[in-house]
Amino acid sequence: MVMAGGKGERLYPLTRDRTKPAVPFGGKYRLIDFVLSNLVNSHIYAIYVLTQFKSQSLTEHILENWRLGTILKNNFIIPVPAQMRTGETWYRGTADAIHQNAHLIRNHKSDIVAVFGADHIYKMNIRDMIDYHREKKADVTIAAIPYPKSESRSYGVIQVDESWRVKGFQEKPETPATIPGKPDLILASMGNYLFNREVLLEVLESDAKSKGTHDFGRDILPSTFHDLKLYAYDFRRNKLPGVEPGYVNDYWRDVGTIDSYWEANMDLRSVIPKFDLYNKYWPIYAGRIHAPPAKFIHNEEGRRGYSLNSTISEGCIISGSTVVDSVLGPFVHIHSYSEVYQSILMEDVAVGHGSRIQNVIIDKHVVIPPETHIGFDVEEDRKKYYVSPGGIVVIPKGSKYDRPPYV
């Protein structure tokens, strides 16, 4: 069960027209592609994606790009819209979303149900977490990652004993519980859970009768750890095929704000990136794009098409221009004498002749007029565009001017 109904209000204006899991990332992906790739790579093929807010783009992406086949009945990825099956309300929280679709769980006889979020960037072999769940004879297992104690106010913190059985929860605490034997580290919840099937159905029924927020992290888990066997799973122990011996799998990003979204994209640009997209044994699947290879043209002094430390998608044309430390989606066209630095340009963006851009996120189908400068004067940018607290300029989808001529 993939939770994909979030509004993503802190990612505005990227979520002005789409739900958060549908936001493009890394040039050719959507945020939801990461959890779906992890599930499929882990040989989990019965997947429901629960949608709600502004879900059209997400639904189309799933139906067009995530078809597992039509022969095997239990191999599917199906978007499930909110249907008010249990009353006249939309989803009131993560637990309520699952409760309103509990019939889907009852229709399948799987002994374990995975409840995962749809808007985080990470790679995870979920089979390893399942093995741990069974080894511990757990009722519920929570994926968690150690972080420095100083970052506790940004996360839900899990308190565990020496065997990593859950003993309590703290929501963004100033004085957090630390990992036994590691006083400088906390255990942050990743919002991904494994439930024994009958346990999940039982706690959902109980929660539906309560007056809480109907949320797994705020209500269900804190109210059940006394009576059920809850264990935390250390994400760092997760092993992926195709990585070097001794590799520690500790990259997990919640791209909940414009600044964190920009930073996670920038993580892809390094020679040795913090998040590696090039492991062919654990691929991240993306939408099928019918496009020619990227092209770099013109080789004249002062008008040379080139890119450094950047991710360039198919169909791009770097025409006598410079792209540095940036991420370009498909069909981006950078016209001559332009410069792009530390920026994210999504699909079908055109940057006009002689423009200079830095620290900018440009959403899909945007045309930047010739001789435009963005990202060099924050106060001037605030008069025209949305600017994040970290100084990242965001230009919403479809902000069109006259498309510049091909030069």
Q: What is the pLDDT of residue 3?
A: 95
Are 35 and 131 members of one domain? Answer: yes
Span 32-60, mean pLDDT? 96
Q: How many whole angstroms separate alpha carbon 264 and alpha carbon 392?
A: 13
Q: Share the mean pLDDT of the chain.
A: 92
Q: Is the pLDDT of residue 304 over 70?
A: yes
Tell me the pLDDT band of 337, cut-offs 50, 70 and 90: very high
Identify the band that residue 406 occupies on the pLDDT scale cut at 50, 70 and 90.
very low
Same domain, 226 and 319: no
Tens-place pLDDT, residues 52-99: 889 999 999 999 999 887 777 789 999 998 776 666 676 778 899 999
Residue 277 resides in a domain: no
Same domain, 126 and 260: yes
- The verdict on 376 and 243 lying in the same domain is no
Report the range out of 216-230, 315-329, 393-407 with the highest average pLDDT: 315-329
245 and 183 in a single domain? The answer is: yes
Q: Is the pLDDT of residue 366 over 90?
A: yes
C-alpha triplet 110, 111, 114: angle, nearest 5°: 80
- 193 pLDDT above the threshold of 50: yes
Mean pLDDT of the region 265-288: 90
**What pLDDT was estimated at residue 83?**
73
Does position 206 have pLDDT exceeding 50, yes or no?
yes
- Whether residue 279 is contained in a domain is answered as no
- Does residue 407 fall inside a structural domain? no
In this structure, are 103 and 57 located in the same domain? yes
In a domain, 280, yes or no: no
The mean pLDDT value for 243-272 works out to 92
What percent of the chain is modeled with pLDDT above 90? 81
DSSP for 212-238, please give it: S---IIIIIHHHHTTTS-EEEEEGGG-
For residue 261, what is the domain's CATH number? 3.90.550.10
Identify the pLDDT of residue 274.
86
Q: Total domain count for the chain?
A: 2
What integer pLDDT is reported at residue 245 of this predicted model?
A: 83
133 Cβ contact partners less than 8 Å away, ≥ 6 residues apart: 112, 141, 194, 231, 233
The answer on 226 and 341 residing in a single domain is no
Q: Which residue among 266, 281, 311 closes a domain?
A: 266
Rg (CA), the chain: 23
Residues of the chain with pLDDT > 70, as a percent, come to: 96
Summarize pLDDT for 307-335 with one digit per residue, the tens: 999 999 999 999 999 999 999 999 999 99
pLDDT of residue 90: 65
Q: Is residue 284 part of a domain?
A: no
What are the pLDDT digits (tens) for 224-247? 999 999 999 999 999 999 988 888
Res 401: pLDDT = 53
Give DSSP secondary structure letters for 363-406: -SS-EEPTT-EESS-HHHHHTTSEE-TTS-EEE-TT---PPPP-
Per the domain annotation, does 161 fall within a domain?
A: yes
Q: Are residues 219 and 335 in the same domain?
A: no
Asked if residue 79 is part of any domain, the answer here is yes
Instruction: Say yes or no to pLDDT of 407 above 50.
Output: no
- Which range marks the domain in which residue 229 is found? 2-266
Same domain, 303 and 261: no
Same domain, 216 and 76: yes
Asked if 258 and 305 sit in the same domain, the reply is no
Q: What is the CATH number of the domain that holds 363?
A: 2.160.10.10
Say whether 205 sits in a helix, a strand or coil: helix
Same domain, 215 and 136: yes
- E strand or H helix at 319, and its extent? strand 317-319
The answer as to whether 9 is a domain residue is: yes
- Give the mean model confidence (pLDDT) for residues 161-188: 96
Domain boundary among 224, 245, 266: 266
